[in-house]
Amino acid sequence: MTTKSEKNQSSEHEQHTKHERKMYLIFAAMISTSTVTMFLLTYTNARSPGRT
């Protein structure tokens, strides 16, 4: 038989795990966005007209 505190701890652990996963996804999205932006800016600067 599980006690009320054990259920509460399990629920808190699940919420913490979900929050942690969300934070990692946000971090990965930030890194991906900055990487794509850097590549695009580098490409457009390398291909700009008038550059020899």
Cα separation of 46 and 39, whole Å? Answer: 10
The C-alpha atoms of residue 11 and residue 5 are separated, in whole angstroms, by 10
pLDDT, residue 50, reads: 64
* Each residue's pLDDT tens digit, 1-52: 556 676 777 888 888 899 999 999 999 999 999 999 999 999 888 876 665 5
> What pLDDT sits at residue 3?
65
Q: Which amino acid is at 35?
A: T
8: left (phi over 0), alpha (psi -120 to 50) or beta: alpha
Separation between Cα atoms, residue 35 and residue 46, nearest integer Å? 16
Q: Enter the pTM of the model.
A: 0.64
pLDDT of 7: 74
Residue 35 has a pLDDT of 97
Q: What is the pLDDT of residue 46?
A: 81
